[in-house]
């Protein structure tokens, strides 16, 4: 058996190589089958032989030698013509092997001892199937080579792979077709525990139990009183009763003992604990009472449906179904109205049955008060019950004491039941319209306030429009009031589902800590702006950042402030520079107006700083982005708008140098004129000085020759450094007096250590005395 496996391996190996090693499958397959049969015979003859104990290395080398010899033997059987050519070369090795006493691997192949005949037969069958599959793949490869002789060996591999995939798919299909029925039953097996609040299967099962309960509640009194159950249709009633009892029994044995419950804040899912908890509950006692087989009394008293009255005790499942159904409905008040209407109809149904029983007790048609026996029994009695409970009047007067007592009890019960049902209906409708009533009350108070203080009609109309839009869009005025009653985890879950999709698109918060974004979501406030409302105005101190949740806003600019520069849509952010400015006090640079109804999420600076205290890494990242935004939106780096018309022929006007701006100051052109006048006075003074020096020079020529030359005395320069803002005052202080002749004024501009500022330096220098 082991040897046949090795032969199979050698047969498969050439198919994975090149196409040159692929031989004709017809003679090879026949010879291999014959060889395999011979090997099986030799194995059967040598079943009782024992393998000598050898080491692992020796056994491995022997097996490899025997496999190679077996391959040569097969080659000889396949190509008999080549046997004679190899006879002379192979004679000496055979003689050496005979001389050394080694066994012939062909005549006596090594076999493994058979432990189990059945397993051995199965393995032989597996080997045979693998051989057939190998031959099939070889045949496919050969057919592919014949159809495309120029194909390379690499093209044969995908074919083999695809065929292997097809065969594996077929095997999977066969396995799936032969899958036992127990696997499908395991899939249909009920879970060990059922969550009654989230499992929809349990809700579906409760609906089935509710249908069975309503069947019993409505038809048991009908069958007891009215003669609708006859011997001809008894089997139909029995089948329906059997189905309802089966549902009750399944609910008692399989569903209710698997319901999870809470104990000390923990959810209990253990099967034994669940069964013990259900058996100790009142619901189990009612379920047991409702399934008690009082139907056996049919054998003694006949087929009377009154013995099934205990089936109406399973009311707990009915109320549980109502509770779970209301919790998953979007408009639960609709179901509440339907349920209350059903209560009223069921009360009228019971009253109609009691009236027919009283009429039958007194005698059908015996008096004017009882049912006269004409028309549809149930419909006529139901009509009488409606007129009695609703106290419409116009009924015949009762004649006997029994009729009078029955009518009195009927009136009292009708007033009580009908009034309670009407009150319940009012509560249901009031709860359904509670939000709208609160909205109307708030709107009425606001309108009364505006009328008291004589607010203009335009403003009042805008306020009414805001109220109407808020009610139409989200059915509430402030959603934060609703979220305050929930715990923080629930608030976070709701805000993530509502606003996280908008926040995730904001580039400013990309890369920040996710927990910081969650904390920020809890602090966001929703604000609705009407069409034409100013979100922010130019020149205002910016303290908030805005994120557009819904709608559009327009950024206005230009000379008159009415030109639309850009339109921002949902997901855009504006006002972030004012929020992230380090020193604050940033003013708005443009007007932002709501284009249509716009719902914006706002975040003020104080709230963001409180959040960033706990997230220093995110704070550094936001500050870095803020510096980039400030740099990009600086006046010097802003992009100039394109010139329109013929304006592109003229270059843009260059900005006035800061030195001249400082000189101009607040006095405008007067400061420059004063500077020019000072320059003229200085020039005239220099001319006078030169003339006086020439006169004095002639007088002092003689004195200078006799006296020694004295070194010149120079005074230090008096300098003062001021900023560009203090330049006008400095110029006024540095004005040269009209009597001076040895002073000069030097003005220079130098960059300052602080960014964005320059230092204006003014020097008053005295000339050297000669």
> What is the DSSP code string of 634-651?
STTTSPPPPP-GGGGGSP
Confidence (pLDDT) at 577? 76
Higher pLDDT, 395 or 43: 395
DSSP structure string for 16-68: HS-GGG---HHHHHHHHHHHHHHHHHHHHHTTT--PPP--HHHHHHHHHHHHH
Residue 221 pLDDT exceeds 90: yes
Residue 639 pLDDT exceeds 50: no
Confidence (pLDDT) at 619? 87
What is this structure's pTM?
A: 0.55
**How would residue 717 be classed by pLDDT, with cut points 50, 70 and 90?**
very low
Query: What integer is the mean pLDDT of 603-625?
Result: 88
Confidence (pLDDT) at 169? 56
CB 544 within 8 A of CB 602: yes
Query: What integer is the mean pLDDT of 753-761?
Result: 59
Query: What integer is the mean pLDDT of 390-408?
Result: 85
Residue 724 pLDDT exceeds 80: no
Residue 47 pLDDT exceeds 90: no
Sign of CA dihedral 159, 163, 164, 165: positive
Residue 82 pLDDT exceeds 50: no
Q: Is 747 helix (H, G, I), strand (E, B) or coil?
A: strand
Residue 213 pLDDT exceeds 90: yes
Higher pLDDT, 481 or 486: 486
Q: What is the pLDDT of residues 436-471, one digit of tens each?
A: 888 889 999 999 999 999 999 999 999 999 998 888
Query: What is the share, in percent, of the chain residues with pLDDT greater than 90?
Result: 27
Residue 251 pLDDT exceeds 90: yes
At a CB cut-off of 8 Å and minimum separation 6, what does 180 contact?
none
Q: What is the pLDDT of residues 316-337, one digit of tens each?
A: 999 999 999 998 988 888 899 8
Of 150-159, 375-384, 484-493, give the lowest mean pLDDT range. 150-159
Alpha-carbon gap, residue 254 to 271, rounded angstroms: 11
Higher pLDDT, 396 or 169: 396
Confidence (pLDDT) at 588? 83
Residue 634 pLDDT exceeds 90: no
CB 114 within 8 A of CB 129: no
Residue 285 pLDDT exceeds 90: yes
**How would residue 600 be classed by pLDDT, with cut points 50, 70 and 90?**
very high
Of 316-325, 427-436, 543-552, 679-688, give the lowest mean pLDDT range. 679-688
* Average pLDDT of the chain to the nearest whole number: 74
Confidence (pLDDT) at 97? 39
Query: What integer is the mean pLDDT of 73-96?
Result: 41
Of 82-96, 389-403, 407-421, give the lowest mean pLDDT range. 82-96
At a CB cut-off of 8 Å and minimum separation 6, what does 331 contact?
432
Residue 664 is encoded by which pair of tokens?
């101009």
Residue 546 pLDDT exceeds 60: yes
Residue 131 pLDDT exceeds 70: yes
Query: What integer is the mean pLDDT of 276-305?
Result: 92
CB 258 within 8 A of CB 251: no
Query: What integer is the mean pLDDT of 82-90?
Result: 40
**How would residue 673 be classed by pLDDT, with cut points 50, 70 and 90?**
low
Sign of CA dihedral 221, 222, 228, 229: negative
Alpha-carbon gap, residue 673 to 592, rounded angstroms: 43
Higher pLDDT, 120 or 348: 348
Confidence (pLDDT) at 322? 94
Confidence (pLDDT) at 204? 94
Higher pLDDT, 15 or 606: 606
Measuring CA to CA, how many Å separate 720 from each of 179, 714, 745?
Answer: 102, 19, 12
CA dihedral 104, 108, 110, 112 (to 10 degrees): 180
Confidence (pLDDT) at 486? 85
Query: What integer is the mean pLDDT of 210-219?
Result: 96
Measuring CA to CA, how many Å separate 649 from each of 638, 640, 641, 654, 676?
Answer: 22, 15, 15, 15, 35
The DSSP 8-state label assigned to residue 568 in this structure reads E
Tally Cβ neighbours within 10 Å of residue 528: 19
**How would residue 572 be classed by pLDDT, with cut points 50, 70 and 90?**
confident
**How would residue 656 be classed by pLDDT, with cut points 50, 70 and 90?**
low
Confidence (pLDDT) at 180? 61
Confidence (pLDDT) at 735? 45
Confidence (pLDDT) at 330? 85
Confidence (pLDDT) at 701? 60
Query: What integer is the mean pLDDT of 390-417?
Result: 85
Higher pLDDT, 179 or 180: 180
CB 51 within 8 A of CB 110: yes
The two counts, helices (H) then strands (E), for the chain are 28, 11
Residue 95 pLDDT exceeds 60: no
Of 157-161, 244-248, 609-613, 633-637, give the lowest mean pLDDT range. 157-161
Residue 146 pLDDT exceeds 50: no
Residue 34 pLDDT exceeds 60: no
Alpha-carbon gap, residue 47 to 113, rounded angstroms: 6
Which of 90-94, 129-133, 168-172 is the most confident on average?
129-133
Measuring CA to CA, how many Å separate 409 from each of 75, 351, 379, 417, 726?
Answer: 111, 11, 22, 12, 104
Of 53-57, 191-195, 413-417, 493-497, give the lowest mean pLDDT range. 53-57
Residue 383 pLDDT exceeds 50: yes
Alpha-carbon gap, residue 728 to 338, rounded angstroms: 87
At a CB cut-off of 8 Å and minimum separation 6, what does 745 contact?
678, 682, 734, 736, 762, 763, 764
**How would residue 109 be classed by pLDDT, with cut points 50, 70 and 90?**
low
Query: What integer is the mean pLDDT of 29-42?
Result: 43
Confidence (pLDDT) at 173? 54
Higher pLDDT, 12 or 164: 164
Confidence (pLDDT) at 50? 39
Of 47-56, 124-133, 691-700, give the lowest mean pLDDT range. 47-56
Query: What integer is the mean pLDDT of 385-395?
Result: 80
Q: What is the pLDDT of residues 493-506, one digit of tens each?
A: 888 888 888 888 78
Give the angle subtended at the CA of 305 by the CAs of 303 and 311, to the nearest 5°. 135
**How would residue 710 be classed by pLDDT, with cut points 50, 70 and 90?**
very low
């Amino acid at each position: 058996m082991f040897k046949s496996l090795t032969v199979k391996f050698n047969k498969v190996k050439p198919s994975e190589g090149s196409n040159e090693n692929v031989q004709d499958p017809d003679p090879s397959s026949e010879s291999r089958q014959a060889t395999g049969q011979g090997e099986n015979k030799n194995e059967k003859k040598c079943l009782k032989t024992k393998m000598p104990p050898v080491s692992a290395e020796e056994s491995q080398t022997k097996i490899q030698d025997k496999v190679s010899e077996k391959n040569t033997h097969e080659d000889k059987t396949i190509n008999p013509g080549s046997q004679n050519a190899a006879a002379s070369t192979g004679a000496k090795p055979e003689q050496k092997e005979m001389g050394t006493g080694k066994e012939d691997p062909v005549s006596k192949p090594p076999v493994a001892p058979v432990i189990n005949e059945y397993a051995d037969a199965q393995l032989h069958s597996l080997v045979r199937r693998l051989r057939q599959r190998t031959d099939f793949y070889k045949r496919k490869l050969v057919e592919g080579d014949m159809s495309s002789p120029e194909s390379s060996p690499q093209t044969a591999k995908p074919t083999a792979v695809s065929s292997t995939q097809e065969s594996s798919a077929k095997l999977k299909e066969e396995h799936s077709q032969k899958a036992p029925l127990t696997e499908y039953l395991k899939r249909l097996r009920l879970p060990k525990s059922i969550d009654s609040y989230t499992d929809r299967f349990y809700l579906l099962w409760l609906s089935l139990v509710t249908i069975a309960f309503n069947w019993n509640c409505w038809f048991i009194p009908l069958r007891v009183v009215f003669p609708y159950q006859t011997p001809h249709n008894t089997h139909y009633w029995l089948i329906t009763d059997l189905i309802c009892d089966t549902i009750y029994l399944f609910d008692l044995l399989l569903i209710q003992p698997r319901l999870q419950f809470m104990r000390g804040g923990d959810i209990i899912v253990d099967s034994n604990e669940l069964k013990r908890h259900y058996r100790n509950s009142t619901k189990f006692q009612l379920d047991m009472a409702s399934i008690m087989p009082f139907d056996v009394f049919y054998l003694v008293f006949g087929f009377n449906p009154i013995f099934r009255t205990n089936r109406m005790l399973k009311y707990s499942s009915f109320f549980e179904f109502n509770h779970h159904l209301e919790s998953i409905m979007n408009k639960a008040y609709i179901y509440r109205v339907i349920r209350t209407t059903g209560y009223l109809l069921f009360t009228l149904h019971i009253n109609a049955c009691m009236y027919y029983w009283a009429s039958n007790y007194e005698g059908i048609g015996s008096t004017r008060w009882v049912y006269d026996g004409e028309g549809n029994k149930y419909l006529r009695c139901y009509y009488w019950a409606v007129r009695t409970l609703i106290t419409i009047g116009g009924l015949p007067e009762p004649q006997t004491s029994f009729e009078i007592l029955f009518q009195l009890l009927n009136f009292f019960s009708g007033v009580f039941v009908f009034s309670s049902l009407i009150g319940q209906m009012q509560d249901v409708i009031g709860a359904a319209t509670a939000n709208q009533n609160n909205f109307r009350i708030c709107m009425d108070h606001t309108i009364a306030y505006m009328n008291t203080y004589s607010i203009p009609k335009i403003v009042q109309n805008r306020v009414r429009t805001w109220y109407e839009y808020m009610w139409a869009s989200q059915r509430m005025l402030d959603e934060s009031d609703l979220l305050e009653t929930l715990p923080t985890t629930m608030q976070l879950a709701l805000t993530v589902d509502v606003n996280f999709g908008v926040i995730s698109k904001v580039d400013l918060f990309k890369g920040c800590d996710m927990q910081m974004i969650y904390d920020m979501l809890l602090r966001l406030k929703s604000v609705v702006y009407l069409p034409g409302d100013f979100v922010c105005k130019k020149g205002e101190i910016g303290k908030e950042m805005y994120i557009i949740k819904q709608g559009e806003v327009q950024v206005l600019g230009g000379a008159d402030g009415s030109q639309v520069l850009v339109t921002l849509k949902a997901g855009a952010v504006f006002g972030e520079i004012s929020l992230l400015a380090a020193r604050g006090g940033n003013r708005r640079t443009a007007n932002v107006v709501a284009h249509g109804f716009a719902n914006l999420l706002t975040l003020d600076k104080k709230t963001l700083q409180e959040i960033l205290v706990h997230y220093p890494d995110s704070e550094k990242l936001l500050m870095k982005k803020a510096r980039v935004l400030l740099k990009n939106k600086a006046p010097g780096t802003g992009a100039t708008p394109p010139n329109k018309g013929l304006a592109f022929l003229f270059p843009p006007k260059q900005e006035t140098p800061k030195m001249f701006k400082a000189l101009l100051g607040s006095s405008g052109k007067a400061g420059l004129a004063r500077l020019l006048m000072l320059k003229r006075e200085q020039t005239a003074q220099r001319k006078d000085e030169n003339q006086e020096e020439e006169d004095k020079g002639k007088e002092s020529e003689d004195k200078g020759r006799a006296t020694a030359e004295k070194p010149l005395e120079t005074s230090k320069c008096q300098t003062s450094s001021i900023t560009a803002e203090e330049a006008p005052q400095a110029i006024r202080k540095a004005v040269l007096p009209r009597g001076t002749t040895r002073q000069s004024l030097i003005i220079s501009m130098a960059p300052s250590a602080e960014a964005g500022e320059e230092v204006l330096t003014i020097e008053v220098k005295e000339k050297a005395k000669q």
